[in-house]
């Protein structure tokens, strides 16, 4: 079959229908044979080999090629060297195996290609998204004043929260309209507060919002990595003395490394007292609202002026999928713009055009994924999946704590577990911390490049650590213990081999 004669679009003809069926079927088979059945979380191929492989890919852009051949090539050259997110040992990041329901929804989203910016591009989809937002507002115990929008993820949701906080504060404190007039001269006095382990997108947003990293004031955390309210009080006093304007408090519900949840109630009291916007970054921890065992950990989140929640993390949706929730919907006015061709002002009352609530114009119908997933899985089972992963994290933390060759860095509050390998001996003339960092880095890379496990690395108080992020409910304690055995095996092997080499080198030089 020549490719140029094949139907390119669905058009209701039998030829186009079979081309669609065959293409989706071929994509399916490739996923099953080149990805889903892989027995390792990563092929282990080095970045160099993969970059050569990509360069060597036979590009037939000039003439085109049959789609089934294209799909096969994708399977062989690309999918085989993917992070196998469905594998129980792919446990590095907040990077989930997607629910089958979410994947099926993706096919529908892609094929029907609705765009959420204006109602005339997403007639029923607009109302489904509104319905999902209303479900989410109820879930987070917001009242009928609330509203929200689906976003590409936490980065965008955090930026939106901080943008609205900035503009509301500048209007309130200075009677100035940022949307029309840009930043006022006093903007350099504005300060944002967050904990020292808040997500980097807080600083990134500060820069994007024209306030600069200098506007971010970080507050110390307690031994469980939660913002310390007394330290916040001290920072607020300092800012007051310096005549600076703290306008937003960012609380994190689920920090990326530790899963720690800031004390939301105490922070909401401070936010009220000091007239600050409270934004809760619940990108990771927001999913606890589905769990009957753990949802109490988010008590107080309903006092937030805005909330970030990600669905492509603990809600098991394929990337990308997130939401921004706003306690007082009229605050969207700081972003609202009208375009005659999309959302004319005169039309606002009878047809919803969601573009006014988003930083994106053309936007995917990601709400369908969450809708289909909840509709299929149900909140109760969803909650128990999350509970399983939290129990797994606390169980493996116990194993780590009891092992003298390993050090646990925190008591997990969600399903992330940070730990490190503890070296037994120190080669001559080596600094202990440096040596430990080197070994921990080596262990993590070996696990990755031998295709044994994909773990994350992070630093805690300057020390190199490894991290499990246990989103996959099918990962077992037994599998994690086997990975820990490998961690210790690789670590002690390196200590012996590399330690000896270094000792000998020392001898020859001395
Ligand atoms: C993941 C994450 C973000 C960023 O979200 P993206 O969806 O990756 O854009 C922000 N904050 C926290 C706490 C996160 O875990």
For residue 6, the CA-to-ligand 1 centroid distance in Å is 42
CA of 199 to the centre of ligand 1 (A): 7
Please give the distance, rounded to the nearest whole angstrom, from the Cα atom of residue 256 to the centre of ligand 1: 8
- Distance, CA of 70 to CA of 27 (rounded, Å): 10
d(CA 455, CA 93): 8
Kind and range of the H or E run holding 166: helix 154-174
Atom of ligand 1 nearest to the CA of 199: 11
> What residue ranges do the domains of the chain occupy?
14-82, 151-335, 380-509
pLDDT given at position 502 = 83
Protein residues with CB under 6 Å of any ligand 1 atom: 94, 153-155, 158, 199, 201, 252, 254, 256, 281, 283-284, 310, 322
Q: Measured from the CA of 256, which atom of ligand 1 is nearest?
A: 15
Q: Residue 2: its pLDDT value, please?
A: 47
- Which amino acid residue places its CA nearest to atom 5 of ligand 1? 154
161: phi > 0 → left, psi -120 to 50 → alpha, else beta; which? alpha
Atom of ligand 1 nearest to the CA of 254: 13
Ligand 1, atom nearest to 253 Cα: 13
How far apart CA 204 and CA 13 sit, in angstroms, is 49
The residue whose C-alpha atom lies closest to atom 12 belonging to ligand 1 is: 283
Q: What is the Å distance from ligand 1's center to 202 Cα? A: 10
Report pLDDT for 492: 97
* CB-based contact 245:192 (threshold 8 Å): no
Per-block mean pLDDT, blocks of 10 residues, the chain (510 long): 75 97 97 96 96 88 94 95 97 98 98 97 98 98 98 98 98 94 97 98 98 98 97 98 98 98 98 98 98 98 98 98 98 88 74 94 98 98 98 98 98 97 91 96 97 97 97 98 98 92 77
- Ligand 1 centroid to 420 CA: how many Å? 24
CA dist., res. 489 & res. 452, Å (int): 13
Range 151-335 classified under CATH 3.20.10.10:
no
CA 331 to chain centroid, in Å, comes to: 25
The pLDDT of residue 510: 59
Question: Which of ligand 1's atoms lies nearest the C-alpha of 313?
Answer: 1
Tell me, letter by letter, the H, E, C secondary structure of 255-297. CCCCCCECCHHHHHHHHHHCCCEEEEEECCHHHHHHCCCCHHH
Q: Look up residue 257 and give its two tokens.
A: 């490394």
Ligand 1 centroid–CA 476 distance in Å is: 26
Distance from Cα 416 to the centre of ligand 1, integer Å:
14
CA-to-CA distance for 100 and 103, rounded, in angstroms? 5
Q: Name the burial class of residue 438, with classes exposed (0-12), middle (13-18) and buried (19+) by CB atoms within 10 angstroms of its CB.
A: middle
CB atoms within 10 A of CB 380: 10
Ligand 1 geometric centre to CA of 310 (Å): 7
Q: What is the pLDDT of residue 463?
A: 96
CB atoms within 10 A of CB 479: 18
For the residues of 97-134, what is the DSSP string, one character each?
PPPHHHHHHHHHHHHH---TTSGGGSHHHHHHHHHHHH
pLDDT of 1 reads 44
How high is the pLDDT of residue 218?
A: 98
Q: For a pocket test of ligand 1, which of 93, 159, 199 has the largest count of ligand atoms closer than 8 A to its C-beta?
A: 199
Asked if CATH classification 3.40.50.620 holds for the domain at 380-509, the reply, yes or no, is no
Strand, helix or coil at 50? helix
Residue 371 vs residues 102, 130, 314, 322: alpha-carbon distances, Å: 9, 11, 15, 13
Mutation choice for ligand 1 from 201, 257, 261, 359, CB with most ligand atoms inside 8 A: 201
Alpha carbon of 18 to ligand 1 centroid (Å): 40
pTM, full prediction: 0.96
Residue 310 CA: nearest ligand 1 atom is: 7
Q: Residue 462 has what DSSP assignment?
A: T
Residue to probe by mutation, ligand 1, list 95, 151, 155, most atoms within 8 Å of CB: 155
- How many Å lie between the centroid of ligand 1 and the Cα of residue 311? 10
Q: How far, in Å, is the centroid of ligand 1 from the Cα of 323?
A: 11
Q: Which residue, chain included where needed, has tokens 């989809």?
A: 125
Atom of ligand 1 nearest to the CA of 252: 13
Predicted local distance difference test score (pLDDT) of residue 506: 77
Ligand 1 centroid – CA 154 distance (Å) = 4
**Alpha helices, DSSP H only, in 175-263?**
178-181, 201-208, 229-241
Q: Which atom of ligand 1 is nearest the CA belonging to 322?
A: 7
Residue count of the chain, please give it.
510
**Shortest CA distance to 194 belongs to which of 132, 262, 260, 139?**
262
* CA gap 72, 70 in Å, rounded: 5
Is CATH 1.10.1740 the classification given to domain 14-82? no
């Amino acid at each position: 079959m020549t490719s140029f004669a094949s139907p390119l679009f669905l058009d209701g003809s039998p030829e186009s229908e079979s081309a669609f069926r065959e293409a989706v079927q071929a994509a399916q088979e490739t996923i099953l044979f080149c990805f889903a059945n892989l027995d390792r979380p990563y092929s282990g191929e080095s970045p160099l080999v993969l970059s050569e492989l990509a360069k060597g890919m036979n590009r037939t852009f000039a003439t085109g090629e049959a789609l089934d051949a294209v799909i096969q090539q994708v399977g062989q050259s690309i999918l085989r060297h993917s992070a196998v997110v469905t594998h129980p040992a792919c446990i590095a990041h907040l990077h989930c195996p997607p629910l089958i329901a979410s994947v099926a929804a993706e096919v529908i989203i892609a094929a029907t290609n609705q765009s959420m910016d204006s109602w005339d591009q997403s007639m029923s989809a607009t109302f489904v998204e509104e319905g999902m937002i209303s479900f989410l507002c109820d879930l987070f115990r917001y009242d009928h004043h609330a509203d929200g929008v689906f976003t590409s993820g936490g980065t965008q949701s955090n930026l939106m929260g901080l943008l609205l906080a900035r503009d509301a504060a500048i209007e309130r404190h200075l009677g100035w309209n940022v949307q029309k007039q840009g930043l006022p001269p006093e903007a350099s006095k504005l300060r944002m507060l967050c904990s020292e382990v808040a997500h980097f997108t807080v600083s990134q947003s500060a820069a994007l919002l024209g306030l600069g990293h200098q506007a971010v004031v970080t507050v110390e955390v307690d031994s469980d990595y939660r913002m310390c309210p007394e330290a916040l009080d001290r920072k607020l006093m300092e800012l007051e003395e310096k005549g600076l304007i703290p306008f937003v408090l960012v609380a994190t519900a689920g920090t990326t490394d530790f899963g720690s949840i800031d004390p939301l109630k105490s922070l909401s009291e401070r936010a009220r007292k000091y007239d600050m916007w409270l934004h809760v970054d619940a990108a990771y921890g927001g999913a606890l609202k589905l769990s009957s065992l753990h949802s109490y950990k988010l008590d107080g989140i309903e006092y937030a002026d805005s909330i970030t929640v990600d669905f492509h993390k603990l809600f098991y949706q394929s990337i990308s999928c997130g939401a921004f929730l706003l306690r007082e919907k009229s605050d969207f006015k700081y972003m609202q713009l009208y375009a005659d061709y999309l959302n004319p002002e005169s039309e606002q009352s009878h047809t919803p055009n969601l573009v006014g609530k988003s930083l994106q114009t053309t936007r995917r119908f990601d709400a369908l994924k969450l809708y289909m997933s909840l509709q299929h899985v149900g909140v109760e089972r969803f909650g128990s999946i999350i509970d399983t992963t939290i129990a797994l994290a606390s169980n493996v933390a116990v194993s780590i704590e009891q092992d003298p060759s390993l050090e646990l860095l925190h008591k997990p509050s969600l399903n992330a577990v940070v730990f490190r390998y503890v070296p037994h001996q120190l080669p001559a003339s080596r600094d202990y911390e440096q040596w430990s960092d080197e070994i921990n880095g080596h262990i993590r890379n070996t696990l990755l490049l031998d295709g044994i496990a994909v773990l994350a690395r992070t630093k805690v108080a300057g020390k190199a650590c490894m991290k499990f992020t246990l989103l996959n409910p099918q990962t077992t304690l037994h599998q994690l213990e086997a990975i820990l055995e490998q961690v210790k095996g690789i670590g002690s092997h390196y200590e012996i081999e590399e330690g000896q080499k270094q000792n000998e080198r020392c001898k020859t030089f001395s």
